[in-house]
Structures are given as C-alpha cells and as structure tokens.
C-alpha cells in the first residue's frame, strides 16, 4: 500500500512539473524587477551579468535604429537588424528579443534556424514568401503581404524570400534574449575547421569536386 502511495505521489509531482510555467520556461526566469546586462563584464554566466541597479538608466531599456532600412546590397539581398540583450541591456533575463528584416526584390533571408527561440514575423511592407520545414520534411509556406503574420516554431529551418517587385520589410519577435542563428548552407560549407569533403559529398549525393566549388563560394561570408 505504501509503495503504491509513493508511486501515485511521484506521478503527481511529475504532472505538476510538466504543467508548471517554471518547467516550461526556456530563458531563466527573473527573480527581480530587472537585470540590466553589464556588457563590460568578463564574467561568463548563462546569460549576461547584471549591473548595479543604482547605475541603471532609462537608456538601458531603449533602442533607436529600427526606422532605418537595412543594407541589402549583398550576396543574399537581405539584412537582419537584431535587437537582443546586447543591443538593449534591459532585455537581459526577460526572455525576448526582436529584429527588423529588410529584403530587396528577389532577395532571400536564407534557410536558417534559431536554436533557442520561436519566431513571430509581421510583414510591414511588401511581400514575402516565407516558410519552415517540420522534422518530417513537410514544408509549411505561403506568400505574406502587409499586415500578415507567420510563426516559425523554435529550432525549425525557415526562410523568407522577397517575391514582390519592391523592398519588403518585416518586424520579428523572438522568444529568447539570445535566440542564436545557424544558417544551414554557411554552417555546412563555410565551417571552420571545414567539414570533410567526403561527408558533404555523401550527404548531398554529389562529388568532392562539387563540394569544393561550393565551399569556395562560402570562404567569404557576407
């Protein structure tokens, strides 16, 4: 009887943990009003060190610059202006970040993932063909116009392509103060040290010479 009670109690605890916001939280939960990042500190922690609240100002919670168009005259024709805890120290420990995405006509924000964040994209101007790939390989994609919103679940590969005739602009919300960024092609063909040619040739079903030609395109990242 006692053994059965212990089992029931253990299951109850597990159920409570599974439904607890603390268990589901990803970024650390704040234990105070705010923890403004001390970006000059050399201390290494999971996140950023807090500075003395007495030295905190309104400027620690503000950012100016999202009104300006990003520079898109590059190989991809796109630019992401990230506003994270390093750009706005007051975001530290709050579990959110945001960004502005500019994409020139025919430009692409190439396939990438955010390992620590779900992304919510809102188109402010222009048109974007946006989508993500589920773990079973299914593509979820559609053309978005001004005012449309699209969600990219955390960790899944996604992209945005400007299929319109004029520049596209979007504002992005991210569920981490440090969402991370892994560009699929850059990571595989532009890694340092380099991924072995034999590995990439086998994975993409191409020959080593083709792998080397592709790698050459990623030697200078832009």
Rounded alpha-carbon distances, angstroms, from residue 219 to 26, 166, 201, 216: 34, 30, 18, 5
Inform me whether the pLDDT recorded for 12 exceeds 70: no
Inform me whether the pLDDT recorded for 23 exceeds 80: no
pLDDT tens readout for residues 168-194 = 999 999 999 999 999 999 999 999 999
Segment 122-143 mean pLDDT:
98
Segment 102-109 mean pLDDT:
98
pLDDT confidence of 7, banded at 50, 70, 90?
very low
Total-model pTM: 0.83
For the chain, give the percent of residues with pLDDT over 70. 86
DSSP for the chain reads -HHHHHHHHHHHHHHHHHH-HHHH--SPPPSSS---B-TT-----SS-PBPPGGG--GGGG----TTSPP---SSSSEEEEEE-TTTSGGGTTS--EEEEEEE-TT-EEEEEE-TT--EEEEEEES-EEEEEE-TTS-EEEEEE-TT-EEEE-TT--EEEE--SSS-EEEEEEESSSS---EEHHHHHHS-SSPPPHHHHHHHHT--HHHHHHHHHHTSS--
Rounded alpha-carbon distances, angstroms, from residue 36 to 53, 72, 84: 8, 32, 12
Return the exposure string of 144-158: e unless at least 16 CB atoms fall within 10 Å of the residue's CB, then b.
beeeeebebebbebb
pLDDT tens readout for residues 55-70 = 999 999 999 989 999 9
- CA 6 from chain center: how many Å? 42
Burial of 133 (0-12, 13-18, 19+ CB in 10 A): middle
pLDDT score at 42? 86
Query: Of 12-16, 109-113, 148-152, which range is least confident?
Result: 12-16
pLDDT score at 1? 53
């Amino acid at each position: 009887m006692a053994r059965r009670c212990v089992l029931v109690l253990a299951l109850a605890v597990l159920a409570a943990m599974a439904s607890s916001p603390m268990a589901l939280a990803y970024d650390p939960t704040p234990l105070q009003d705010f923890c403004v990042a001390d970006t000059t500190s050399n201390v290494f922690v999971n996140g950023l060190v807090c500075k003395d609240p007495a030295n905190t100002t309104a400027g620690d919670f503000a950012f100016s610059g999202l009104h300006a168009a990003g520079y898109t005259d590059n190989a991809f024709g796109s630019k992401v202006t990230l506003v994270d805890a390093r750009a706005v120290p007051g975001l530290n420990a709050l579990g959110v970040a945001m960004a502005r995405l500019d994409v020139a006509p025919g430009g692409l924000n190439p396939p990438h993932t955010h390992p620590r964040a779900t992304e919510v994209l809102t188109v402010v101007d222009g048109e974007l063909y946006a989508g993500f790939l589920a773990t079973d390989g299914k593509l979820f994609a559609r053309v978005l116009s001004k005012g449309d919103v699209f969600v990219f679940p955390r960790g899944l590969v996604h992209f945005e392509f400007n299929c319109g005739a004029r520049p596209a602009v979007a504002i992005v919300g991210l569920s981490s103060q440090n969402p991370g960024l892994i560009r699929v092609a850059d990571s595989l063909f532009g890694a340092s040290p380099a991924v072995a040619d034999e590995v990439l040739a086998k994975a993409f079903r191409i020959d080593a010479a083709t792998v080397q030609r592709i790698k050459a395109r990623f030697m200078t990242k832009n």
